[in-house]
Amino acid sequence: MTPATDNFRFAASDCRAMTLAIQPVRPADVDAIAALAREIWQSAYADIITPAQIDYMLAQRYNAPRLLDELAAPGYWWDQAVVDGERAGFSSCYLSGVAGELKLDKLYVHPARQRGGIGGALIARVLDHGRAAGCDTLILAVNKQNARAIAAYEKSGFAVRESVRVDIGGGFVMDDFIMARSIPQATP
Ligand SMILES: CC(C)(COP(=O)(O)OP(=O)(O)OC[C@H]1O[C@@H](n2cnc3c(N)ncnc32)[C@H](O)[C@@H]1OP(=O)(O)O)[C@@H](O)C(=O)NCCC(=O)NCCS
C-alpha cells in the first residue's frame, strides 16, 4: 500500500539538510496549490508561451471546482512536496483509460527549490501510484521547448514517443512531445 507520507533527508545545494515530505493534496490546499502553480508557471513558461496563454491555461486547469473534482475522482492522485514545512511543489496523475497506462499530468517545483531532488521524489510517488494500480506504463505531455523538464524526464527514464499539437481553445495550441517510461513492478 502506498504510504500517505514519506519523509526524506536531503542535502540541499548549500549543504544544509532539508526534510522533504510527499503528502496527498487535501481540499483545503487547493487555493495554495493554484497560487504556487501561478508562481511556477510565470517563471517556467515566460519564454515558451505568451502571458495570455499562461493566464488561459491556469484558469482552465487550476480553478477550485476543477481541482476539487480531481481530488475526489477515483483513479486520480494529487501529491505535494513539503520542504521544512513549506509547500515546494506538486504532482498529479490519473489512469488514462488505456489499459495499464498512468498519465503524469502535472509536475511542478518552485524555482528556488529546483535541482534538489524534489521532482524526482514526486515522480517516485507517481510510480508508486501506478504500481499499486497495476499499471506498467507512465506517459506525459511536455512542451517541446521545455528543455529543463525534458532533461529531468530523460533522467527519470522517459523517452519521446510522439509529437502532438493540441488545440486547447481560446486560439491557443499545445505543441508537445508525448514521453513514456515503464513502471517497474518492484520498488527500485
Ligand atoms: C521539471 C521539474 C519538475 C524538475 O524538478 P526538480 O526538482 O528540479 O528535479 P530534480 O532535482 O529531481 O532533478 C532530477 C534530474 O533531472 C535533471 N534535471 C532537472 N532539472 C534540470 C535542468 N534544469 N537542466 C538539466 N537537467 C535537469 C538532472 O539530471 C537532475 O539530476 P541532478 O540534479 O542530480 O543532475 C522542475 O524543473 C520544474 O518544476 N520546472 C518548471 C515546471 C515544469 O516545466 N514542469 C514540467 C511540466 S511538463
Q: What percent of the chain stands above pLDDT 90?
A: 88
Instruction: Give the model's pLDDT for residue 114.
Output: 97
Instruction: Tell me the Ramachandran region of residue 31: left when phi exceeds 0, alpha when psi lies from -120 to 50, beta otherwise.
Output: alpha
Angle separating helix axes 51-61 and 30-44, nearest 10 degrees:
160
Instruction: Look at the domain 6-182 and name its fold.
Output: Aminopeptidase (3.40.630)
Instruction: Give the model's pLDDT for residue 104.
Output: 98
Q: Which ligand 1 atom sits closest to the C-alpha of 115?
A: 11
In sequence order, the 6+-apart residues with CB closer than 8 A to the CB of 55 are none
Q: Determine whether the shortest distance from the Cβ of 20 to ligand 1 is under 6 A.
A: no
> Which stretch of DSSP H or E encloses residue 62?
none
Instruction: Give the model's pLDDT for residue 18.
Output: 83
Q: How far does the centroid of ligand 1 lie from the alpha carbon of residue 110, in Å?
A: 11
CA distances in angstroms from 182 to 61, 95, 127, 157, 164, listed in the order given: 27, 14, 9, 8, 21
Q: How confident is the model at residue 188 (pLDDT cuts 50, 70, 90)?
A: low
- Residue-wise pLDDT for 38-49, tens only, equals 999 999 999 999
Q: How confident is the model at residue 16 (pLDDT cuts 50, 70, 90)?
A: low
Instruction: Give the model's pLDDT for residue 186.
Output: 78
Instruction: Give the model's pLDDT for residue 1.
Output: 38
In sequence order, the 6+-apart residues with CB closer than 8 A to the CB of 96 are 102, 103, 139
